[in-house]
């Protein structure tokens, strides 16, 4: 009896192969041939699930975004759930935002991959919508965090939250880029310290 292949699992396995090749050799080397070899499949099998390279890259980029979003969403549910609002908001806010930073090898690899996709999107229009969607999601999350903190009286009165949202996303992007480029220079302790200092600068007096 022929083996039954789950198309969802097969597409997932191919996307994982894209990310492994890109992490090891660079996104430019994630060709259909190299990805098929990495996944242990024939190129024809990959083409059965993806029409071509662009569709495969879009799917792999979405898979990477899903991984990052799933991890961050766990912290976001706790922080933004009214039922848990009486806890240590400051500590939970820091924990949520720290999930976006490359504090360990896994998150450093994810961040490097994401920068690769975003850079590629500059010349590969098919990737731009997913990059824009991810950035919009991050902006929305940070704005919600700041809105909730403002309603709880935890922010300095009169802050322009649109500006503070952009300032915080820029800080997270900059720290992430520096840590990916030189993890020995910008390690987890410094990443946390800079984030903590920034959050402290937003706090209401008293």
Q: Where are the domains of the chain?
A: 1-50, 62-202
Q: Which residues pair with 203 in a beta bridge?
A: 155
DSSP conformation class of 125: G
Buried b (16+ CB within 10 A) or exposed e, 129-165: ebbeebeeebeebbbebbebbbeeebbeeeeebeebb
Query: What are the tokens at 6?
Result: 């789950």
pLDDT band at 153 (very low <50, low <70, confident <90, very high): confident
Query: What confidence tens digit (pLDDT) does each residue in 103-135 have?
Result: 999 999 999 999 999 999 999 999 999 999 999
Using an 8 Å Cβ cutoff, are 127 and 108 in contact? Answer: no
- CA torsion, ordered 58, 60, 64, 70, to nearest 10 deg: 90
* Mean model confidence pLDDT for the chain: 89
Residue 168: pLDDT over 70: yes
Residue 64: pLDDT over 60: yes
- pTM recorded for the entire structure: 0.86
Q: What angle do CA 175, 78, 205 make, to 5 degrees?
A: 65
CATH superfamily label, 62-202 = Tetracycline Repressor, domain 2 (1.10.357.10)
Percent of the chain with pLDDT over 90: 68
- How many CB atoms are located within 10 Å of the residue 182 CB? 10
- CA torsion, ordered 132, 75, 202, 164, to nearest 10 deg: 10
Distance of CA 135 to the CA centre of its chain: 9
CA 149/CA 190 separation, integer angstroms: 24
CA 138/CA 111 separation, integer angstroms: 14
Tell me, which fold does domain 1-50 have in CATH?
Answer: Arc Repressor Mutant, subunit A (1.10.10)
């Amino acid at each position: 009896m022929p083996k039954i292949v789950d198309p969802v699992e097969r597409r997932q396995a191919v996307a994982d192969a894209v990310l492994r090749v890109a992490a090891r050799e660079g996104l430019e080397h994630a060709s259909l041939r190299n990805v098929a070899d990495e996944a242990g499949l024939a190129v024809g099998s990959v083409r059965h699930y993806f029409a071509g390279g662009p569709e495969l890259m879009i799917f792999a980029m979405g898979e990477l975004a899903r991984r990052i979003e799933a991890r961050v969403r766990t912290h976001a549910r706790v922080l933004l759930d009214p039922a848990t609002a009486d806890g240590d908001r400051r500590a939970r806010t820091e924990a949520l935002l720290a999930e976006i930073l490359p504090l360990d090898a896994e998150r450093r690899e994810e961040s490097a991959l994401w920068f690769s996709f975003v850079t590629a999107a500059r010349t590969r229009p098919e990737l731009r919508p997913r990059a824009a969607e991810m950035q919009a999601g991050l902006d929305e999350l940070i704005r919600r965090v700041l809105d909730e903190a403002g309603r709880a009286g935890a922010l300095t009165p009169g802050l322009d939250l649109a500006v503070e949202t952009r300032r915080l996303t820029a800080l997270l992007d900059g720290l992430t880029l520096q840590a990916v480029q030189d993890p020995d220079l910008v390690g987890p302790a410094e990443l946390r310290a800079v984030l903590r200092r920034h959050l402290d600068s937003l706090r209401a007096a008293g």
